[in-house]
Amino acid sequence: MSQFIVDGNNCLKGNVSISGSKNSALPIITSTILFKCPVEISNIPDMGDVRILIQIMKDIGVKVDQLSPDTFRFDASGDIESDLSKIKGVSTIRGSQTLLGAILGRNHEVILPVLGGCPIGARPMDIHFQGMKKLGAVIENKGNRKYFKAKKLQGTHVYLDYSSVGATENLILTAMSAEGITIIENAAQEPEVVDLVYLLNQAGARISGIGSSTLQIIGKSALKRIKFSVMPDRIETGTFMLCAVMTKGKIQIEDCCVQDMSSLLFKLRDIGVKVEIRGQSSLLVEMDKRSSSFNIRTMPFPGFPTDLQSPMLSLACLAGGTSIISETVYENRFNVVPELRKMGANIMTNDKIATITGVEKMFGAEVQCPDLRGGISLVLAALAADGKSYIHRASVVDRGYQFIEKKLQRLNASIVRVEDENGYIR
Ligand code: EPU
């Protein structure tokens, strides 16, 4: 384990380039299982969860060649393993969830262990399973594994009880191999789902309703060899926007997708931040005063993203006035609150609502990352705080941020990573 040591109170200035999106790269990588020919994917971010998934792909029988630091060729023309309970890493990341849809489509059977991911809620997969059943899968529980078998996959009409990102992606992938037409209603509209559909359609799939809540998939399209570039990470984009705000700095964010940032962009402008749009892929974010307080409620896209809720919580800790943050997506996304309190934050939580009374200053403290987005919110708080912070379990942040301390150092942040020999004892 490693820790970040951050010396705060620096104004962050300069340019930063946004990496490819974790939550788009993960399903895109698993989708290559549906191809009987090589697929070249670029802009794949080098981060913990992606590395684990690439190793899983190799272990299930996909030939993976790294062509450049961010470009990989996936060739799934050989046999693909269906028993995921035998494969190391599958149960440690949530990003392995779409292996289910892709392998069920390809092999008509899958053995699935219980999946992991950040400890932010129970994260059941009932909506995925209901959809798979409608497509023709029979599911049996044996111990902590689920056995999926489908003699025939048949196009169907499903309504998702919740517009789950993973369930939408999984059902798209399975429906690709089904006979006839599948319609998914109340589908997730997240840009990452759209990116997956772009890739599949570029390869010859026939999916319509892109970006809407009703998707129509015509199954059994032959997929041809393509090259595809993963979309920019909108959560990393938002994180750097908030770095500028919290440190009263000025950051030009490049290689992002401005269109995906509306909910944050409007909120930041409301609280006094200067955000200049410089074309479709660049933003200049500048702040020279304390921000005003604000209210947010996390929602599926185009609502405010839950993955930016923890970084916004850090901002609220320093805003002038009282902010209210309602988390509607996950049950345990306030695990970072006790850590922020150690840095001087004034936060009260009641179930999924946090009431934050902003303080003038936070101070450096010894804290630990509870989960990926909670971890980055501690880094943000430490950058703005007076004094030194020691942030343990730094590798949790690496699951979803590429070269985070290097990018921050280039913006004038004082942050180093050191080995954490003793770990952290509460
Ligand atoms: N849910 C169910 N049943 C289901 C599926 C989901 O109850 O069958 C619930 C979940 O428990 C959760 C909510 O619905 O409370 C949203 O889950 P969703 O399926 O939409 O999310 P996901 O596919 O598991 C992806 C991202 C998350 C991101 C969410 C929402 C990946 C690998 N993960 O998760 O990313 O928060 O969509 O946008 O794509 C992160 O990057 O830190 C992260 C957690």
Rounded to the nearest integer, the mean pLDDT of the chain is 96
* Main-chain phi, psi angles of 330, to 5 degrees: -120, 150
Q: What is the pLDDT of residue 90?
A: 95
Q: Has residue 117 got a pLDDT over 90?
A: no
Mean local confidence (pLDDT), 206-224? 97
For residue 129, give the ligand 1 atom closest to its CA: 8
9 lines ligand 1 (CB under 6 A): no
How does residue 112 score in pLDDT terms, banded at 50, 70 and 90? very high
191 lines ligand 1 (CB under 6 A): no
Cα separation of 127 and 386, whole Å? 46
Written as one string, the DSSP assignment of 355-403 is EEE--S--B--EEE-SSHHHHHHHHHHHHHSBSEEEEE-THHHHTT-SS
Fold adopted by 2-19+232-419: UDP-n-acetylglucosamine1-carboxyvinyl-transferase; Chain (3.65.10)
Residue nearest to atom 21 of ligand 1 (CA): 165
Q: Please write the tens of the pLDDT for every residue from 226-241.
A: 999 999 999 999 999 9
Cα separation of 238 and 312, whole Å? 9
Q: What is the pLDDT of residue 177?
A: 97
162 lines ligand 1 (CB under 6 A): yes
Mean local confidence (pLDDT), 107-132? 92
Q: Hey, is 166 helix, strand or coil?
A: helix
Written as one string, the DSSP assignment of 235-283 is HHHHHHHHHHHHTT-EEEEES--GGGGHHHHHHHHHTT-EEEE-SSSEE
CA of 163 from ligand 1 middle (Å) equals 9
Residue nearest to atom 32 of ligand 1 (CA): 95
22, 23, 234, best to mutate for ligand 1 pocket (most atoms within 8 Å of CB): 23
Within its chain, how far is the Cα of 331 from the centroid?
17
Mean local confidence (pLDDT), 307-320? 98
38 lines ligand 1 (CB under 6 A): no
Q: Has residue 12 got a pLDDT over 50?
A: yes
Q: Write down the catalytic residue from 118, 243, 256, 317.
A: 118
Q: Has residue 61 got a pLDDT over 80?
A: yes
Q: Has residue 121 got a pLDDT over 90?
A: no
Q: What is the pLDDT of residue 293?
A: 98
Tokens coding 42: 């670029």
Q: Where in the chain is the domain with CATH 3.65.10.10?
A: 2-19+232-419, 22-226
Q: Has residue 425 got a pLDDT over 80?
A: no
* Main-chain phi, psi angles of 255, to 5 degrees: 60, 35
Q: What is the pLDDT of residue 424?
A: 61
Q: Has residue 337 got a pLDDT over 50?
A: yes
Residue nearest to atom 4 of ligand 1 (CA): 125
CA of 286 from ligand 1 middle (Å) equals 31
CA of 279 from ligand 1 middle (Å) equals 30
For residue 188, give the ligand 1 atom closest to its CA: 20
Q: Give helix 165-175 / helix 22-31 axis angle, nearest 10°.
A: 20
Give the count of beta carbons closer than 10 Å to the beta carbon of residue 14.
14
Residue nearest to atom 26 of ligand 1 (CA): 23
Residue nearest to atom 11 of ligand 1 (CA): 123
Mean local confidence (pLDDT), 254-274? 98
Cα separation of 264 and 245, whole Å? 12
132 lines ligand 1 (CB under 6 A): no
Q: Has residue 300 got a pLDDT over 50?
A: yes
How does residue 395 score in pLDDT terms, banded at 50, 70 and 90? very high
Q: Has residue 63 got a pLDDT over 60?
A: yes
For residue 300, give the ligand 1 atom closest to its CA: 38
CA of 161 from ligand 1 middle (Å) equals 13
Question: Residue holding tokens 């902590």?
Answer: 144
Mean local confidence (pLDDT), 374-394? 98
Mean local confidence (pLDDT), 336-365? 97
How does residue 116 score in pLDDT terms, banded at 50, 70 and 90? confident
CATH 3.60.20.10 fits 22-226, yes or no: no
Q: Please write the tens of the pLDDT for every residue from 141-198.
A: 999 999 999 999 999 999 999 999 999 999 999 999 999 999 999 999 999 999 999 9
Q: Has residue 426 got a pLDDT over 70?
A: no
CA of 363 from ligand 1 middle (Å) equals 33
- Which of the pair, 119 or 359, is modelled with greater confidence? 359
256 catalytically annotated? no
45 lines ligand 1 (CB under 6 A): no
Q: What is the pLDDT of residue 268?
A: 98
